[in-house]
Amino acid sequence: MSGKGGTGKTTVAAALALALAEEGKRTLLVEVEGRQGIAQLFETQALPYEERKIAVAPGGGEVFALAIDPELALLDYLQMFYKLGSAGRALRKLGAIDFATTIAPGVRDVLLTGKACEAVRRKDRGGRFVYDYVVMDAPPTGRITRFLNVNDEVAGLAKIGPIHNQAQAVMRVLKSPETAVHLVTLLEEMPVQETADGIAELRAARLPVGRVIVNMVRPQVLDAADLELVGSVSRPAVARSLSSAGLGGARRGGHAERLVEPLLAQAEEYAERYTLETEQRAVLAELDVPLHELPLLAEGMDLAGLYALARKLRGQGVS
């Protein structure tokens, strides 16, 4: 799950994880940017580098969450593949771990995607997949292709050796039909533009584009006919209407009369936004990707809202 900054991709990722967890499924929600946004959404304590159950979905499904810490993931990885227990610690002292996870080209991204892919492929003793779905709250649209494709890049950079093999394995998972990169956007020009650019980049890199989810869609309060009327309506008529609804006098200077201009000004702003939104919807429609819309929650985002969004996603057949 990616999206431009500020579009609510963490929220949508969490809602999707919940939606997918219905009917007794088990999903893992992965955070890679160290913001602890998932913990805040689910109103729990900061997540450690450990898979934890954070929510139960209707119908008995479970959502687990994992905040990947690249440094720990690297030590983990070294331990798992090379049994570098003490050498790992020494590397850390040297600054090598810090170097590898912050400066070295791509290592960080390889570790993050690598850990997520490991969770995707993990099986229990009975040979069943431990998680039915893994949802990653990924970096923003501007960096997503690079982030996911980093394994290709690293595989090119490290032409042989374990990193090369690891990177190749990760790319196989990411480019398989079991992966889908969903993009979250708003009905605004820049996020839509970035979504279009992002899809083009993903396609060019042959990464599987999933769906576009338009988040925070405002309810339609005035329709096209109303908006047409806004420009031409007689001010006194609106004042009388307001007055009849109990909002004071319609005469000049009366309370209802004084509300008319500000209310119509708000309607004109609404009209402007409505036109922009209609244009942006048209742009999105041309992307040739399934579109979904999630409403803006009037009361702000909370846990109840998250479940409501999950139901919406499910209702729209996203899961």
User: Which is nearer to another protein, 22 or 153 (by Cβ)?
Assistant: 153
- Phi, psi of 209, deg, nearest 5: -80, 130
The answer to whether 11 touches 309, Cβ cutoff 8 Å, is: yes
Distance CA 147, CA 176 (A): 16
Amino acid identity, position 291: L
Residue span binding another protein (CB under 8 A) among the ranges 43-51, 120-128, 201-209, 294-302: 294-302
180 touches another protein (CB under 8 A):
no
Measured over all CA atoms, what is the biggest interatomic distance in the chain, rounded to whole angstroms?
85
Residue span binding another protein (CB under 8 A) among the ranges 43-51, 127-135, 174-182, 235-243: 235-243
- Residue choice 161, 177, 253, 317 for contact with another protein (CB under 8 A): 161
Residues numbered 8-27 forming contacts with another protein, rule: CB under 8 A:
none
43 touches another protein (CB under 8 A):
no
Nearest to 272 by CA among 218, 235, 216, 227: 227
The beta strands (E) that lie in the chain are given as: 2-3, 26-31, 52-56, 62-67, 133-137, 181-185, 209-217, 291-295
Closest approach of another protein to the CB of residue 122, in Å: 22
224 touches another protein (CB under 8 A):
no
190 touches another protein (CB under 8 A):
yes
- Residue choice 263, 285, 303, 304 for contact with another protein (CB under 8 A): 263
String of DSSP letters for 103-139: ISTTHHHHHHHHHHHHHHH-B-TTS-BS-SEEEEEPP
User: Which is nearer to another protein, 133 or 147 (by Cβ)?
Assistant: 147
126 touches another protein (CB under 8 A):
no
- Residue choice 61, 114, 139, 198 for contact with another protein (CB under 8 A): 139
Distance CA 177, CA 188 (A): 30
How many residues line the site for another protein (CB under 8 A)? 87
How many CB atoms are located within 10 Å of the residue 132 CB? 16
270 touches another protein (CB under 8 A):
yes
Binding mask 51-80 for another protein (x = CB under 8 A): ---------------------------x--
37 touches another protein (CB under 8 A):
yes
276 touches another protein (CB under 8 A):
yes
Distance CA 82, CA 108 (A): 18
175 touches another protein (CB under 8 A):
no
User: Which is nearer to another protein, 46 or 298 (by Cβ)?
Assistant: 298
Residue with tokens 């720990």: 72
34 touches another protein (CB under 8 A):
yes
The answer to whether 21 touches 54, Cβ cutoff 8 Å, is: no
Residue span binding another protein (CB under 8 A) among the ranges 47-55, 116-124, 245-253, 307-315: 245-253
User: Which residues, other chains included, contact 59 with Cβ-Cβ below 8 Å and sequence gap of 6+?
Assistant: 22, 23, 24
- Residue choice 142, 210, 290, 305 for contact with another protein (CB under 8 A): 142
281 touches another protein (CB under 8 A):
no
Nearest to 216 by CA among 301, 311, 315, 303: 301
